[in-house]
Chain A
Amino acid sequence: MRNASEETRLTSLAASIVSIALLLATLTPLPAQAAGKLQIITATADLASLAQEVGGDRITVESIARGYQDPHFVEAKPSFLLKLRKADLLIVVGLELEIGWLPPLINQSGNPRIQVAGPGYLDASRFAEILEIPKGVVTRAEGDVHPQGNPHYWLDPNNGLRIAKGIADKLSEMRPADAKYFDERYEALADRLKREDKKWLEQMKPYAGRKVITYHRSWPNFAKHFSLDVVGYVEPRPGIPPSPSHTLELIRLMKRENIKIVMVEPYFDLKTPNAIARDTGAKVVVMLPSVGGEKPVTDYFKLFDYDIALLVKAFQEVH
């Protein structure tokens, strides 16, 4: 028994040493913050693009979600924590778009600055025009509905401008010495976006009021701005995969209303949209909802250039 006790004591001692070593290891200091540039992490590539436009060379910015990735279903990888722990500012889309992955990352980051309502937390939805805010009782019978409104609001250049203004103000608040710089960059962005938007509206003018189908409810702001009429969805409800009965109903609607365009996000399977298109003579257009969805689409301007060029071509082909 004495030997056993000694062994136990040794084991206990070893356990204590391991625990203390672990605690000491956790006490090593955090890496020093980069002195010059503000380090910004955004939830999506669109917010990163707008932040880059406004922040110029005074910031470094990186997005967590890739442009070709469904922003609802990003994995909360620990490697993102390495970026978040050093971030001065986290810009999120909000409206529960990131509810399935961002909250655990924020909690585990060990970065007090970017906690919700912290000095380095910015919810871009505060600045945007939000559509499809549910009224009355909200239930999951409507699918994966967002109770605070549709989170795909950045697909309206007006909202892009509003978000950019919000980011510029935030950057000025964080770095008052660079406020003039951020303001000038914002004004330059506003001028350019105004010019580009005029061009985009002109390109889309012949198709104003055209009825279209989309896969997911990603395009209400885009449709509103460019005067498209979204009359149906490939998904029977948001987040619910297409069912045969709903698909048949959609085909009947498209034939009845002579709808020839089906807009699909790049992360959805094309099997059902292609089947619908074959049956109705419609065209499937793989539209990009985010910057970086394809290699050439490197910024917010190129996103609209790309999508509008695709849509115009598709409208010309089907009529």
Chain B
Amino acid sequence: MRRAMVVACAFCFVPGMLVAQGKSTGVAESTETRRLQALEEQVHALAAQVELLRRELIKVRDPQPNGVAPSGRLVLTAGPGMEKGAAERTVSAMAQPSTPVSGEIAAMQPAAQEPSPILGGPQTQVFGGATSNAKLLNPDISVIGDFLGSLGRNKIRPVPALELHESEVSFQAIIDPYARGDFFLSFGETGVNVEEGYVTFTALPGGFVAKAGKMRAAFGKVNTIHNHALEWTDRPLVTENLLGGEDGINDAGFSVTRILPAPKWIFLEGTGQVFRGDSGNIFRADKHKDVSTVGHIRAYKDLSESSNVDIGFSYAHGHSAGDTLVTLLPSDFHTNLYGVDATFRWKPLRRAIYHSFLARTELVWSHRDQLSARNAFETQRAFGLYTSGEYRLTRRWTVGGRFDRSARAADANLRDTGFSALLTYWPSEFSQVRGQYRFARYAEKFDANELRFQLLFVLGAHGAHPF
């Protein structure tokens, strides 16, 4: 039928066209040109419609968050005058504005794309480097290896010649609009420990930030820092003697923090924490009511855009642990810890990755109730401190030093003294090589000279630590 109509039309129009052609060739050419132009315009319009339909089809089949073009359809873009080769190298996926932009600049060629209705409007991106929808809801996962080597002799606190001291595995993610979760699992050579695992409620009214779970207590500075983020391969003697060693005050409980009113440009923050009361050889809870408490006040001030000072006051209270006899009178034996910490930082903003200086000191007083050698009640009052400094020489090299002096919590007459010199090399942001010469003179009249070596390496996305 269609073919018959075409033939009939041809019979009608072709003779007429031939006649007309004979009359005026010029007019015919002009008509033909216009017709061709009209056809071209129709073809362009149809092509645009096809492209529009194709985009809608892709959008329906494969909706993308954030308005990002489907990964399978990369858009080749090139600015005016760009070389062919350059344009080919600049393969780009176009993330589109959520609403059309008026007044686009000449070179701009965005393919306007509304946010996917399936996802319910514009989506925000989350930290974590997810590259596909399947990974978007996974937490940031990282593993940090802490490999330690040691030369020399230390019969008071011996360490292996070589050890994978710790493998810290972390899982961090936003839980919902009101909270985020952080887990840090510490794999040692002999077992696994939940170093920290807590939920942080970030959307509380009144400016409060609350945490619940197991966490390092906000006592001073070093107690809050994970091994891999320390400036040394070990922890200071005062931590070993008075604050529970490597794990420090680390317990299950609640924490509430809030910025406090203060004069302008002074940052004042208060933290109150309540824990179960079990923390290494410092605190022990035999009853539910034997909780431990920690309080911390932090004052911070920028001295200039490159330097600042940070001062903290800490207090911790709990039931004494560490002596089997203590179990007989758990509620009558307490340990009180008092701490002062001060930090000075200098980092020129224009050369922040090349040069910086950090000086820090912490003073700790321990008042510990216990039974004496003659089985009488006594309170041991011990004091310890460390002072350290670290200077970044270049982008890759850092030198540092530390002085230690601390009495022992159970016998304040025993005092240990030490100092360390450190050299650190950073191949990249994700690995670190460190050497530390450590001298310690222990109360037992023993001198330890050690050369320690540390290799830290980071796999995956490890979240930033608080300042």
A and B pair up: yes
Q: Please give the residue numbers on chain A whose beta carbons come within 8 Å of chain B beta carbons, in ascending order.
A: 1, 4-5, 7-8, 11-12, 15-16, 18-19, 22-23, 25-31, 66, 68-70, 73, 75-79, 81-82, 85, 94-96, 99-104, 106-112, 115-118, 121, 123, 125-135, 138, 140, 143-144, 146-149, 157-158, 161-162, 165-166, 169, 187, 190-191, 193-194, 197-198, 201, 205, 208-209, 220, 224-229, 239-241, 266-267, 269
29 contacts between A and B (CB under 8 A): A8-B332, A19-B295, A22-B295, A25-B260, A25-B270, A28-B261, A31-B261, A68-B349, A69-B350, A85-B207, A96-B127, A99-B461, A110-B258, A112-B203, A118-B177, A126-B67, A126-B95, A126-B97, A126-B124, A130-B94, A138-B131, A143-B428, A165-B101, A208-B81, A209-B81, A227-B80, A227-B81, A229-B82, A269-B354
Residues of B with C-beta under 8 A to A157: 105
Report yes or no: A190 in contact with B102, Cβ–Cβ below 8 A.
Answer: yes
Report yes or no: B98 in contact with A126, Cβ–Cβ below 8 A.
Answer: yes
Q: Which of B85-93, B156-164, B436-444 contacts A (4 or more CB under 8 A)?
A: B85-93
Report yes or no: B103 in contact with A78, Cβ–Cβ below 8 A.
Answer: no
Q: Which of B172-208 contact A (CB under 8 A)?
A: 174, 177-178, 180, 200, 202-208
Which residue from A16, A190, A266 sits with its C-beta under 8 Å from B103?
A190
> How far is A270 from B114 in the complex, measured between Cα atoms in Å?
45
Which residue from A22, A144, A169, A227 sits with its C-beta under 8 Å from B98?
A169
- Residue B377 lies at the interface, judged by CB distance under 8 Å to chain A: yes
B128-156 vs A: 1/0 string, CB under 8 Å? 01110000000000000000000000000
- Residue B240 lies at the interface, judged by CB distance under 8 Å to chain A: no
Report yes or no: B104 in contact with A110, Cβ–Cβ below 8 A.
Answer: no
Q: Please give the residue numbers on chain B whose beta carbons come within 8 Å of chain A beta carbons, in ascending order.
A: 66-68, 71, 77-83, 85-86, 89-90, 92-99, 101-108, 110, 122, 124-127, 129-131, 174, 177-178, 180, 200, 202-209, 256-261, 265, 267, 269-272, 293, 295, 297-298, 300-302, 305, 308, 310, 315, 317, 332-334, 336, 345, 347, 349-354, 367, 369, 377, 379, 395-396, 428-430, 461, 463-467
Report yes or no: B377 in contact with A4, Cβ–Cβ below 8 A.
Answer: yes
Report yes or no: A227 in contact with B79, Cβ–Cβ below 8 A.
Answer: yes
> How far is A128 from B66 in the complex, measured between Cα atoms in Å?
11
Report yes or no: A79 in contact with B267, Cβ–Cβ below 8 A.
Answer: yes
Report yes or no: A147 in contact with B377, Cβ–Cβ below 8 A.
Answer: no
* Among B124, B354, B379, B463: residue with most chain A CB under 10 A: B124
> How far is A31 from B261 in the complex, measured between Cα atoms in Å?
8
Report yes or no: B203 in contact with A23, Cβ–Cβ below 8 A.
Answer: no
Report yes or no: B259 in contact with A82, Cβ–Cβ below 8 A.
Answer: yes
Report yes or no: A226 in contact with B466, Cβ–Cβ below 8 A.
Answer: no
> How far is A221 from B189 in the complex, measured between Cα atoms in Å?
48
Pairs of residues from A and B, 3 with the lowest C-beta to C-beta distance, nearest first = A190-B103, A208-B81, A112-B203
Residues of B with C-beta under 8 A to A4: 332, 369, 377, 379
Residues of B with C-beta under 8 A to A30: 206-207
Report yes or no: B92 in contact with A75, Cβ–Cβ below 8 A.
Answer: no
> How far is A18 from B297 in the complex, measured between Cα atoms in Å?
11
Residues of A with C-beta under 8 A to B265: 79, 82
Contacts A22-B272, A26-B270, A76-B464 given; does A116 touch B300 at CB 8 Å: no
Report yes or no: A107 in contact with B209, Cβ–Cβ below 8 A.
Answer: yes
> How far is A246 from B458 in the complex, measured between Cα atoms in Å?
24
Which residue from B81, B122, B256, B465 sits with its C-beta under 8 Å from A104?
B465
CB nearest to B67 among chain A residues: A126
Residues of B with C-beta under 8 A to A118: 177, 203
A-B contacts besides A15-B336, A75-B347, A82-B259, 4 pairs, CB < 8 Å? A4-B332, A19-B295, A103-B464, A133-B92
**Least distance between B212 CB and chain A CB atoms (Å):** 14
Contacts A26-B256, A75-B347 given; does A19 touch B336 at CB 8 Å: no
**Least distance between A96 CB and chain B CB atoms (Å):** 6
Report yes or no: A224 in contact with B77, Cβ–Cβ below 8 A.
Answer: yes
Report yes or no: B203 in contact with A70, Cβ–Cβ below 8 A.
Answer: no
CB nearest to A65 among chain B residues: B349
> How far is A148 from B124 in the complex, measured between Cα atoms in Å?
13
**Least distance between A203 CB and chain B CB atoms (Å):** 13
> How far is A149 from B93 in the complex, measured between Cα atoms in Å?
9
Which residue from B104, B202, B269, B293 sits with its C-beta under 8 Å from A78?
B269
**Least distance between A300 CB and chain B CB atoms (Å):** 13
Report yes or no: B349 in contact with A8, Cβ–Cβ below 8 A.
Answer: no
Report yes or no: B259 in contact with A110, Cβ–Cβ below 8 A.
Answer: yes
> How far is A229 from B85 in the complex, measured between Cα atoms in Å?
9
Residues of B with C-beta under 8 A to A7: 379
Contacts A227-B82, A266-B350 given; does A197 touch B334 at CB 8 Å: no
CB nearest to A113 among chain B residues: B203
Report yes or no: B206 in contact with A29, Cβ–Cβ below 8 A.
Answer: yes
Residues of B with C-beta under 8 A to A226: 79
Report yes or no: A267 in contact with B464, Cβ–Cβ below 8 A.
Answer: no
Residues of A with C-beta under 8 A to B99: 165-166, 169
> How far is A197 from B71 in the complex, measured between Cα atoms in Å?
30
> How far is A229 from B82 in the complex, measured between Cα atoms in Å?
8
Report yes or no: B200 in contact with A112, Cβ–Cβ below 8 A.
Answer: no
Report yes or no: B267 in contact with A78, Cβ–Cβ below 8 A.
Answer: yes
**Least distance between A11 CB and chain B CB atoms (Å):** 6
> How far is A197 from B460 in the complex, measured between Cα atoms in Å?
40
**Least distance between B379 CB and chain A CB atoms (Å):** 7
* Among A85, A229, A239: residue with most chain B CB under 10 A: A229
Report yes or no: A126 in contact with B295, Cβ–Cβ below 8 A.
Answer: no
CB nearest to B318 among chain A residues: A15
> How far is A102 from B467 in the complex, measured between Cα atoms in Å?
11
> How far is A129 from B79 in the complex, measured between Cα atoms in Å?
13
Report yes or no: B86 in contact with A117, Cβ–Cβ below 8 A.
Answer: no
**Least distance between A135 CB and chain B CB atoms (Å):** 8
Residues of B with C-beta under 8 A to A229: 82-83, 85-86, 89
**Least distance between B444 CB and chain A CB atoms (Å):** 29
**Least distance between A267 CB and chain B CB atoms (Å):** 6
Report yes or no: A161 in contact with B101, Cβ–Cβ below 8 A.
Answer: yes
> How far is A193 from B174 in the complex, measured between Cα atoms in Å?
38
Report yes or no: B82 in contact with A209, Cβ–Cβ below 8 A.
Answer: yes
> How far is A134 from B202 in the complex, measured between Cα atoms in Å?
32
Residues of A with C-beta under 8 A to B269: 78, 81
Residues of A with C-beta under 8 A to B93: 130, 133, 149
